[in-house]
Structure 1
C-alpha cells in the first residue's frame, strides 16, 4: 500500500498527541481496539462519518492524511488497519471534514 490513507480524528485528540497518536476510533484507543481504524479513500471515510459519527459536530473532527510507508497496515474487511501507534511524521496533512 503506497497511496495516502485516512483516519478520522477528534481535533482535540490530534492536538494533544505527542510524537505518536493512539486513538483508534470513537471512544476507543489503540490499547482498547488493538489497531487504529483508517479508510482507503475519502468516500470510504465519509461512509464511516455517516454511520458512526452522524451525531458529532463536524467542526470537532479532522481528517488525517497518512503516508502508510513503513507502517504495519493490514487491509481487513475492506478497511486499512494500523497495528501500532501512528507517528506524527507519517501524517503529511490534515483537513477539515
Structure 2
C-alpha cells in the first residue's frame, strides 16, 4: 500500500452495500460522466461537511488504490469551485467508470461531532464491515 496513490470516495453505507457482487457505480457516473473522488483525508472531510451533512448515516469513505482501478482516473480542478476550505489549486481524481471493489484498500466511517460536523475517519467496527 505504500508509495501508491490512494484516492477517497464518499458513499452512504446503504448504497455501497446494495450490490456487493458488482462494481460500484454511483449516480454521478451517469449524471456527470465520472465518479467524484478526493485526493486525501483532509479534503474528504471538507467535502463531507460541504455536501453530506444531511446524508443517511453511517457514511463510508472508500480508500481506493488508483493503480488497481480499471477505469481511467484523471486529476482535474474542481468545477465550478472547490468546497469551502479547499484551495483552488487542489486537483480532484475523477474516475471515468465504475469503482472496482478489488481496488478498495479500506472502508472507513465518518466520525461526527455533536454539532453534526465531520471530524475524522475511522476504521469500521467489525459488525458494520461490508
Would you tell me which structure has more helix in proportion to its own residues? 1
Query: How well do the aligned residues superpose, as a CA RMSD in angstroms?
Result: 1.7
Which of 1 and 2 has higher RCO (CA within 8 Å, sep 6+)?
1
CA deviations 1:22-63 (Å, max 9, x no partner) are 01xxxx331122000001000010110111112235x33101
Q: Which runs of 5+ in 2 are unaligned?
A: 78-90, 111-130
Unaligned runs of 5+ in 1: none
- TM-score of the superposition, structure 1-length normalised? 0.85
Quote how far apart the aligned CAs of 1:70 are: 4.7
Normalized per residue, the structure richer in strand is 1
Runs of 4+ that moved beyond 3 A: none
Aligned residues between the structures: 92
TM-score (ref. length: structure 2) = 0.65
